[in-house]
Structure 1
Amino acid sequence: MPATDYQGSFGRSLLSLRRDQVDSTGAHEPTSMEVELDSFQRQVTERFVDLTVSGSDEILSLEWIGKLLDAFLCCQEEFRAIIVNHRSQLQKPQMDRLIADYFERSVKALDVCNAIRDGIEQIRQWQKLIEIVTCALDTGAGVSVQRLLGEGQFRRAKKALIDLAIGMLDEKESSGSALAHRNRSFGRNKDNHHRSMGHFRSLSWSVSRSWSAARQLQAIGNNLVTPRASDIMATNGLAVPVYTMTSILLFVMWVLVAAIPCQDRGLQVHFYVPRHFQWAAPVMLLHDRILEESKKRDRKNACGLLREIHHIERSSRLVGELADSVHFPLTEEEEVEVKHRVQELVQVYEALKQGLDPFERKVREVFHRIVRSRTEGLDSLGRVSE
Structure 2
Amino acid sequence: MKRDYYDILGVTKSASEDELKKAYRRCAMKYHPDRNPGDKAAEEAFKECKEAYEVLSEPAKRRAYDQHGHAAFERGGGGHGGADFGDIFGDIFGDIFGGGRGGRQQARRGSDLRYVIELDLEEAVFGVERKIDVPTLVGCVECKGTGSEDGKTETCGTCRGQGRVRMQQGIFSVQQVCPHCAGAGKRVSNPCKSCRGQGRVEDEKTLEVKIPGGVDNGDRIRLAGEGEAGPAGAPAGDLYVEVRVREHAIFQRDGDDLYCELPIRLSQAALGADIEVPTLEGEVIVKVPAETQTGKQFRLRGKGVKSVRSHAPGDLLCRVVVETPVNLTRRQREILQEFEGTFEGDNAAAHSPRSSTFLDGVKAFWNRVVS
State the TM-score, normalized to the length of structure 1. Answer: 0.21
Question: Whose relative contact order is higher, 1 or 2, with alpha carbons under 8 Å and at least 6 apart?
Answer: 1
Q: Highest Rg: 1 or 2?
A: 2
More helix by share: 1
More strand by share: 2
